[in-house]
């Protein structure tokens, strides 16, 4: 497909519309559509195309790499049946001092399984958790709700409510951390004023992202203490029992009580 956009790093490039070519290679599970021949069972290709063109026509970026990344993210957001997408963006007739028809880049973005742990022990705990889960992107499943004893910190603080949420997402572990911290702030959490392992209106931990290993000062994935805590392992075992270690009920710290669904 082709679209006019205002992108470029050279002086004046964003002042005039320029033609861009966009190619999409979509990966999705089409078995159901192939069997049913029903339009409702296949990818909404119109929505996917609209998402790609909208990025090129409505946004302004300096680099082709950034345009391609934005197109890929919007395509994945346009239809959850799309598991992965390869995006090629070409600038037609680029302003270079050689005879060049186009210059382009290609990126591939795909969904990965990720697990977030959510907990709250201040305020309207269940309402806070429900609002946080509703605001998360790419949710696939939510564990049962557990009331749990605090692990670490003051022993006199209130009990927590905890859930684990499974995502199928193209967001990186760092981006998931940023989403979680935004939700914490919206719930009234002030990380600069709280005590370590103290009570909080909302806590969002990035527990696991398939294929990702992160070791940075403010982010470690897999979470370094996830296999030591019953308030993580009990709800995690409900969603993905193969991920939790055998015998965790005897070795992990804390007490948990299953309450039902969130």
CA distance 116 to 161: 14
For residues 133 and 190, membership in a common domain is answered with: yes
For residues 167 and 239, membership in a common domain is answered with: yes
CA distance 167 to 111: 9
Domain that holds residue 61: 2-110
CA distance 119 to 96: 54
Partners of 37 in the β-ladder: none
Point out the catalytic residue in the list 70, 90, 91, 223: 91
Q: Give the per-residue pLDDT at 65.
A: 97
Query: Total structural domains in the chain?
Result: 2
For residues 103 and 128, membership in a common domain is answered with: no
Predicted TM-score (pTM) of the model is 0.86
Percent of the chain with pLDDT strictly greater than 70:
100
For residues 164 and 85, membership in a common domain is answered with: no
Cα angle vertex 218, ends 109, 243, to 5°? 60
For residues 159 and 189, membership in a common domain is answered with: yes
For residues 138 and 222, membership in a common domain is answered with: yes
Residue at a domain's end among 110, 137, 171: 110
Region 83-108 average pLDDT? 90
Residue at a domain's end among 53, 87, 110: 110
Helix crossing, 45-58 with 64-78: angle to 10°? Answer: 150
For residues 91 and 190, membership in a common domain is answered with: no
18-69 pLDDT tens trace = 999 999 999 999 999 999 999 999 999 999 999 999 999 999 999 999 999 9
Q: Give the per-residue pLDDT at 93.
A: 82
What CATH number is given to the structural domain containing 160? 3.30.70.560
Region 189-204 average pLDDT? 88
What CATH number is given to the structural domain containing 74? 3.30.1130.10
For residues 193 and 74, membership in a common domain is answered with: no
For residues 127 and 106, membership in a common domain is answered with: no
For residues 88 and 163, membership in a common domain is answered with: no
139-185 pLDDT tens trace = 999 999 999 998 877 878 899 999 999 999 999 999 999 999 999 99
230 is catalytic: no
Under the banding of pLDDT at 50, 70 and 90, the label for residue 235 is: very high
CA distance 119 to 231: 9
């Amino acid at each position: 497909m082709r679209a006019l956009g205002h992108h470029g790093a050279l002086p004046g490039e964003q002042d005039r519309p320029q033609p861009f070519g966009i190619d999409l290679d979509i990966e999705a599970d089409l078995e159901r559509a192939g069997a049913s021949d029903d339009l409702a069972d296949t990818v909404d290709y119109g929505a996917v195309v609209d998402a790609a063109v909208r990025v090129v026509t409505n946004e302004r970026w300096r680099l082709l790499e950034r345009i391609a990344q934005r197109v890929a993210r919007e395509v994945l957001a346009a239809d959850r049946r799309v598991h992965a997408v390869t995006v090629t963006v070409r600038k037609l007739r680029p302003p270079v001092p050689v005879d060049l028809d186009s210059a382009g880049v290609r990126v591939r973005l795909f969904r990965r399984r990720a697990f977030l742990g959510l907990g709250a022990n201040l305020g309207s705990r269940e309402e806070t958790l429900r609002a946080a889960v509703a605001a998360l992107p790419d949710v696939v499943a939510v564990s049962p709700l557990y009331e749990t004893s605090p692990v670490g910190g003051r022993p006199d603080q209130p009990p927590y409510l905890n859930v684990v949420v499974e995502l199928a997402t193209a967001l990186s572990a760092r981006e998931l951390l940023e989403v979680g911290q935004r939700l914490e702030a919206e719930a009234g959490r002030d990380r600069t004023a709280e005590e370590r392992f103290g009570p909080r209106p909302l806590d969002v931990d990035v527990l696991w992202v398939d294929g990702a290993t992160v070791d940075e000062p403010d982010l470690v994935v897999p979470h370094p203490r996830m296999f030591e805590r019953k308030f993580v392992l009990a709800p995690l075992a409900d969603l993905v029992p193969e991920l939790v270690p055998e015998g965790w009920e005897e070795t992990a710290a804390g007490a948990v009580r299953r309450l039902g669904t969130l």
